[in-house]
Structures are given as structure tokens and as C-alpha cells.
Amino acid sequence: MATSVLSVKTKFKQLRQFAGAAGCTLALAACAGMPGPHAATPAPKQPLDRLTVVTPDAEHDLLAQLLAGEMALTRNDLKEASARYGRAMALSDDPDVAQRAVELALAVRDEAAVQRAIGRWKALGASTADLAQAQAELALATGDTAGAREQLERLIGSGDAHAWRRFGRALVGARDPAQAARLLEAMATPARLPADPKAWLAMSELGDKLGRPDYAMRLADAAVVRFHDTETYAWAAQLKFKAGDRKGATALLKQALARSPDDVRLRLTYASLLSQGGDYATAARLLDNGPQSAEIYALRAALAAQAHDQKAIARLYRQLKQAPPDVRDGNTFLLGQLAEMQDRKDEALAWYDQVGDEDPHAFDADLRSAVILHTQGKVADAHALLEQLETAYLDQPEQLRRAWQADAELYMREQHYAQAAKAYGHALQVLPDDPGLLYGRGLAYAEAGRIDQAVADFRHLLKIKPDDVDASNALGYTLADAGRDLPEAKKLIEVARAAKPHDPAIADSWGWLQYRLGHLDEAARSLRQAWSSARDADVGVHLGEVLWKLGKRQDARQVFEQVRRLDPNNANLHKTVQRLEP
């Protein structure tokens, strides 16, 4: 510290000396300019005094045009960026600038600008393949199928090592997918494609993407016969599975595994298809044996979780813990998940803490840690960790939204509804009109007694998603609970009942509405149904109150006692009992 202070003082002293010297120089110059009895003869001009520097105006300044173009791109203003690069290419001898001008002109579909840019690019040495691809893309953009085919033929025949990849790139960006698909089928045939399985797979995938499943399947089958390559088997099997031919997909993968039993990708593909068909046990057996990888460990964990197989989860956890250090260190997030599935919370926290900052799961590890801390009663620590995430991920909207949402959900668990609504509000600033966030804030507002705000959020949500059953039910219940607009509440809940006739939450809303309307028997019937389907504390409180009003006080007390055992700190229970038995 002493050295840095001394350094600063020294610099300041030097600056003072420089300023003093400059002041003397300026004073002498002023004195020299004053007429006097002994005026000095003017000194001859130095060479730099005679130099005139010419600075171009912005329109003729290459760097200014390039910078303006890049700034326009940061604003997603493609039209302005295209215009700037169009000017820049005229000022530059760099073919890359002309290529960029071509790409931007194509993006904004400015045919005249594309032609000018192609001409400039050609003059600067663009290859035959470069020009053919650009002109093909222009023809596709203008609907000129014959012109597009002519240029694509030129591209394929150019001898360019990546001609077929560029062919696919031109078609995938076409404005009319049907036009692109016709050209693909006509030109990318087994007789013409090179002896490279990757090219065949790329064209098959493009056909699938462009809505030509029969072409995609024919090409994939032909690739399997010609190359017997692992990737061709896997892709053909995926297409068969997608088409509903599970037997054909299984047969292909069995053949492939017989040829390459230790191929990790094949085993993953086969296991994924099996799990999609609900055959978790066979998928798990396939992955348990043979070489392991991070992807296989993750899929094994997912399969065990889907099957609720605690023995498999424990076995995988032991196996990973005993794996070599490099394998274990690369799977710390998965180890944390496996520990969490076994309710080993402290171990899970320890594993999550070892997930490095550069690990793609770093955010999720911290998020899960916050949830675990909250379940352990370390509420302040949980919220503090989430606040750190909200600061660290300010420039990553999706992670920031998830951090605020998690914060809000933890506040909801604590019944701190005003703070939950505030957290949801922060998340909505990051992602406005997000249905899940609007729904969550609406619930928080309703629980906090801010009915107008709750109703506003639910109404806004229904404008965005008119068929959202949960939003319809939430708005109907909120109105009914507040005793407001009961005819509208009835319509909303009826819509929800028609969509989900056996949903206990909707049955609760209907029962509570009937209670507000004075239909006690119908209310009790609906609430008993909801209570028997799902032992939710709030449903039990509603049922108890209705039974009390029907004069069945002993039954009501029994329900209240069940609620108390279920959720001892339920605020609605305490308020209701105090109101009924002051």
C-alpha cells in the first residue's frame, strides 16, 4: 500500500512540474507575440506546420461504415446493417466485407442489393461455389425454382469439398419449404450423393425437417445398406420410431449393437427409445452394463427416477462415488441429485458445492442448494443464496427469471405472500407476460388479500392464454372467495370443470362457490369429493366450515383436526376456527 501511495504522489509531482513548464512556455510565447522595440525575427515554419491532414467524411470512411453496420446488428436492425455494409464493400478490397454485404442483403431480401454485392464479391475473387450458393439463395428468395436449380447444380459441380453441406444450407434457409423440399428430392439422390455417410444423413435430416418423411426414410435406409455406419443405424431407427414403427427401430438398433456392442451413442439411442415407449426396466438393463459416460450416468439416473426405483438410485450413487476421481469430479451435479433423491440433504449440499463455476450445471446446483437449505429451516441462508444468484446472473435473463421465481415460491411456502408477489414482479420485469409468473403472482396477491391485483393478473393471463384451465379456475375461485361477480365466477369454474371433471382443486372451487351462493348441500358434496381425492389443507378447511354451517359441528371438528395434523401452521385453519369458535 505504501508503494502505491508513493507512486501516486510521484506521478502527481511530475504532473505539477509538467504544468509549470507548460505555463512558462505559454507565457514566453505570449511575450514573443507582443510588439516591442527589439521584436525577434519570426522563425521559419517547420515541416509539420506545412502538413495538411485530409480526413474523409463519414460516407467515405470504411471504418465508420463497418462500425455503424455492427451497431445496427446489435439493435437487430438488419436493413440498416445491410445498407452500411453495402457502402463499406465499395470502399474495401476485402472479399469478406463483400461476402457480409451479400449475406445481409439476402437476409432483408433486397434483390438489387444482393446483385450489387455479388458483383463486388466476384470482382474481389469469390469462388464459383461462393457465387453459386449466393445466387441460389437469391433465386429461392424470389421464387425462381429453375434459377435456383441451375445455381445449385453449379454448386454441386464446383468441386468444393463442402458442396453438399452448402447445398443443404441454401435449402434450409429457403422462404418456401415446399419449394426447397422438391429441389432436395430431385437433386440429392443416392446416385448423386458422395461416398460419405455424413452427407447422406444430412440430406435425410433436411428432408425430415422440410416435411418429407418418406424421402428421409428412404435415404436413411439406403445409407444403412451402403455404409453400415453406427450413426446411420441410429438415425434410421429414430425415424422408424417417429413413424410409429417401434419394431423396425428395435431391429435396427439390435443389429447395430451386435456390430458395436460398446458404442456409447448406440446404447444411449436405444435406451432413449425404450424409455419413450415406457420400457424403463429394459432401458436400465441396457445401460447398466458396458462402458459408462456422463450421458449414460445421467440417463440411468433419469430412468431410475421415472421408475421410482430407489434401489437403482442407491446403486448408481455408490458406483459414481467409487468411480475414478476424474469421473467423479465430472459428475458432481449428478451426485448431488442422486443424494437428494435419497433424502441425503447434507451430502447433496456438499456435492452441489463442488460443482465448478465453469460447469454448465453451476446455476442449477446453486438453485437446488437454496431449496435444500430452505427445507432444512435455513430460510435466511436460502434467500441469501438466491439473492447472490440474482446479482450474478443479471445479464442472463432465463437464469435471472428462474432465480426470482424460486425466491417467490419459497416465500409462498413461508406464507409471506407480499414478498412472494414482489419477487414474482421482479421476474416479470425480466420476462413480461410469462404465463407461469403471472399465475404465481396472482396466487400470491390473492393470498395477501390484494384481490384487485390478483384479479387483474388472472384476467391478463386469460387474455394471453384464453384456454388456460388453471387460470380460469383461479380467477373463478378468487372472485367466489371475495364474494364478487359470482355469476362470472360460476361461468369460469364451469369451464374448468368441463375440461378437468376430476380435478380436486376445481372441485374445491366449485364447492366454495356453492357455499358463497348459499347451496350448502351441493357445497358439502363437492368439497367431500375434493377432500377424499387429495388431502389438501385448504380444502379441508373449506369442508370443515361448510359442515359447521350445516350444523354438523362434530364432523367439522374432526376434519379440522385432520387438517391440523396435516399442516399445523396453516393460517386459514387458525383464522377459520377462531371465527367459528371465538
Classify domain 467-580 by CATH number: 1.25.40.10
The secondary structure of residue 195, as a DSSP letter, is S
CB 403 within 8 A of CB 419: no
The secondary structure of residue 59, as a DSSP letter, is G
Q: How far apart are CA 386 and CA 111, in angstroms?
A: 51
Q: How far apart are CA 498 and CA 480, in angstroms?
A: 18
Task: Cite the DSSP H helix spans in 376-450.
Answer: 379-392, 397-413, 417-430, 435-447
Angle between helices 177-187 and 213-227 (to 10 degrees): 30
- Least Cα distance to 286 among 294, 341, 273 occurs for 273
| Predicted confidence band of residue 128 (pLDDT cuts 50, 70, 90) | very high
| Predicted confidence band of residue 33 (pLDDT cuts 50, 70, 90) | very low
The secondary structure of residue 355, as a DSSP letter, is S
| Residue 271 exposure: Cα atoms within 13 Å on the Cβ side | 25
Highest average pLDDT, of 12-16, 288-292, 324-328, 446-450, comes from 446-450
pLDDT at 1 over 90: no
pLDDT at 28 over 70: no
The secondary structure of residue 40, as a DSSP letter, is P
| Predicted confidence band of residue 192 (pLDDT cuts 50, 70, 90) | very high
- Least Cα distance to 421 among 394, 400, 440 occurs for 440
Measured from the Cβ of residue 475, the count of other Cβ atoms closer than 10 Å reads: 27
* Burial class for 357, CB neighbours closer than 10 Å (0-12, 13-18, 19+): exposed
Q: How far apart are CA 232 and CA 218, in angstroms?
A: 12
User: Could you report the per-residue pLDDT of 479-488, keeping only the tens digit for each?
Assistant: 999 999 999 9
- Per-domain boundaries in the chain: 188-260, 467-580
Going from the C-alpha of 520 to that of each of 152, 175, 249, 287, 515, the distances in angstroms are 75, 61, 58, 57, 5
- Least Cα distance to 479 among 513, 521, 506, 503 occurs for 513
Q: How far apart are CA 508 and CA 32, in angstroms?
A: 98
Looking at residue 229, its pLDDT comes to 83
pLDDT at 7 over 90: no
Mean pLDDT, range 264-274, rounded to an integer: 76
Mean pLDDT, range 432-451, rounded to an integer: 95
Mean pLDDT, range 528-557, rounded to an integer: 93
CA dihedral 197, 203, 205, 209 (to 10 degrees): 180
Joined together, the cell numbers standing for residue 59 give 460516407
The secondary structure of residue 468, as a DSSP letter, is -
pLDDT at 231 over 90: no
Rg (CA), the chain: 36
Measured from the Cβ of residue 21, the count of other Cβ atoms closer than 10 Å reads: 10
Terminal CA-to-CA distance of the chain, rounded, Å? 69
pLDDT at 55 over 80: no
Looking at residue 57, its pLDDT comes to 59
CA dihedral 517, 520, 525, 529 (to 10 degrees): 70
Q: How far apart are CA 497 and CA 503, in angstroms?
A: 8
Looking at residue 56, its pLDDT comes to 55
Looking at residue 296, its pLDDT comes to 78
Joined together, the cell numbers standing for residue 476 give 373463478
Name the one residue in this structure whose C-alpha cell is 446479482: 391
Q: What is the mean pLDDT of the chain?
A: 86
CB 476 within 8 A of CB 455: no
Mean pLDDT, range 329-342, rounded to an integer: 92
Looking at residue 39, its pLDDT comes to 42
CB 134 within 8 A of CB 118: yes
User: Could you report the per-residue pLDDT of 505-533, keeping only the tens digit for each?
Assistant: 999 999 999 999 999 999 999 999 999 99
Q: How far apart are CA 99 and CA 203, in angstroms?
A: 25
CB 457 within 8 A of CB 476: no
283/146: higher pLDDT: 146
Q: How far apart are CA 428 and CA 423, in angstroms?
A: 9
Assess if CATH 1.25.40.10 describes domain 188-260: yes
pLDDT at 408 over 70: yes
* Burial class for 239, CB neighbours closer than 10 Å (0-12, 13-18, 19+): buried
Measured from the Cβ of residue 570, the count of other Cβ atoms closer than 10 Å reads: 18
Lowest mean pLDDT among 54-58, 332-336, 477-481, 521-525: 54-58
| Predicted confidence band of residue 286 (pLDDT cuts 50, 70, 90) | confident
pLDDT at 24 over 70: no
Lowest mean pLDDT among 54-58, 222-226, 249-253, 285-289: 54-58
CA dihedral 175, 176, 177, 182 (to 10 degrees): -130
Three-state SS for 143? coil
Q: How far apart are CA 188 and CA 181, in angstroms?
A: 10
Looking at residue 303, its pLDDT comes to 80
Looking at residue 213, its pLDDT comes to 95
| Predicted confidence band of residue 304 (pLDDT cuts 50, 70, 90) | confident
Q: How far apart are CA 203 and CA 185, in angstroms?
A: 9
- Least Cα distance to 114 among 140, 82, 143 occurs for 82
Mean pLDDT, range 102-112, rounded to an integer: 91
Name the one residue in this structure whose C-alpha cell is 364451469: 494
For residue 110, the Cα-to-chain-centroid distance in whole angstroms is 32
Name the one residue in this structure whose C-alpha cell is 376456527: 577
pLDDT at 193 over 80: yes
| Predicted confidence band of residue 79 (pLDDT cuts 50, 70, 90) | very high
With 0.75 as the threshold, say if the pTM is over it. Answer: no
Q: Which amino acid is at 2?
A: A
Looking at residue 319, its pLDDT comes to 85
pLDDT at 20 over 70: no
Joined together, the cell numbers standing for residue 295 give 450421458
For residue 45, the Cα-to-chain-centroid distance in whole angstroms is 67
User: Could you report the per-residue pLDDT of 350-401, keeping only the tens digit for each?
Assistant: 999 999 999 999 999 999 999 999 999 999 999 999 999 999 998 898 999 9
pLDDT at 156 over 90: yes
Mean pLDDT, range 18-45, rounded to an integer: 38
pLDDT at 294 over 90: no
Domain 188-260 and domain 467-580 have a common topology: yes
Helix (H) or strand (E) holding 553: helix 553-566
